[in-house]
Amino acid sequence: MSRQIADCRRFESDSRCSLTIIGEGDELVAAAVAHAVTVHGHQDTPALRTQIGEMLEPEESYVPGERAAVPFPG
């Protein structure tokens, strides 16, 4: 299984979150969901887990430093 990233810098947020998580599969999704719930106030639902899974990027797309944020989908 290939490593992927969940990068909060990718999306606009009130907190201007800078967290980037790199890992594999269910471990990465679980960590990203926990972060979304505790930091961003989302509800842990199957829909959130699906949405996060669909927003993951290949590890190779990681860019250090600042990243231009886009509106959060949905």
Q: Report whether pLDDT(37) > 90.
A: yes
In percent, the amount of the chain with pLDDT more than 70 equals 97
Note the pLDDT tens digit of each residue in 40-74.
999 999 999 999 999 999 999 998 998 888 887 76
Q: Is the dihedral of CA 65, 57, 30, 14 positive or negative?
A: positive
Provide the whole-model pTM: 0.87
Mean pLDDT of 19-36: 96
Map out the domains of the chain as residue ranges.
4-61
Q: Report whether pLDDT(18) > 80.
A: yes
